């Protein structure tokens, strides 16, 4: 009998741009010391759960890779792979912009100029399917980014997921991946 695997998403630790409320997107910003401590704390939490983790993967951006490696040190896991589809939502020339204090139309103008939310969710779903298929029946930790996780999980669950904090752990309903695939196929064919 084929036992279902388990996938858990983890947002990377804090960066200086997170602290300064700057829009990071796909810009490769490193962790700061607080982010490294957050990664160590989530690793201790995962270790204390006394669950067995088989595989560790991440986005290729440095802040995700470093978070994954810190987690792996505690759990005795090597980073098995990075997936380009896990890169954060791109905001192009707006990356580095300060969002702190911006409200209403000014904030929305910057955010709406980014990669479309549907495209981000589609990338996230593609990555999760690839990860599930590459590691059937395994327990997989996936380190990625806040918007990518939020939009992907929102699509999987069929409802808006709240903002993801640094190093927050978000379990994935792997049984929903196939249903989301069907919704994704339908929305692709009917998209404007």
Which are the catalytic amino acids?
Answer: 12, 88
Handedness of CA 83, 65, 172, 1 (dihedral sign): positive
**What is the DSSP secondary structure assignment for residue 93, as one 8-state letter?**
G
Phi, psi of 138 (to 5 degrees): -100, 160
The position carrying tokens 């490696």 is 69
- The CA-atom distances, in angstroms, between 99 and each of 18, 51, 186 are 10, 38, 34
Q: In whole angstroms, what is the distance from residue 32 CA to residue 42 CA?
A: 16
């Amino acid at each position: 009998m084929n036992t279902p695997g388990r996938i858990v998403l983890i947002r990377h630790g804090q960066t200086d741009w997170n602290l300064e409320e700057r829009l990071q997107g796909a810009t490769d910003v490193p962790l700061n010391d607080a982010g490294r401590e957050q990664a160590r704390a989530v690793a201790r939490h995962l270790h204390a759960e006394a669950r067995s983790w088989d595989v560790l993967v991440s986005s290729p951006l440095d802040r995700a890779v470093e978070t994954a490696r810190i987690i792996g040190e505690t759990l005795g896991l090597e980073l098995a792979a990075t997936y380009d589809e896990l890169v954060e939502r791109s905001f192009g020339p707006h990356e580095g912009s300060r969002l702190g204090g911006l409200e209403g139309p000014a904030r929305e103008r910057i955010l709406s100029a980014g990669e479309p939310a549907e495209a981000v969710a589609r990338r996230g779903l593609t990555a999760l399917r690839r990860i599930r298929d590459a590691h059937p029946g395994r327990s997989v930790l996936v380190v990625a980014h806040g918007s990518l996780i939020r939009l992907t999980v929102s699509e999987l669950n069929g409802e808006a997921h709240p903002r993801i904090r640094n190093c927050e752990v978000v379990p994935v309903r792997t049984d929903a991946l196939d249903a989301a695939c069907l919704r994704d196929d339908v929305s692709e064919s009917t998209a404007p």
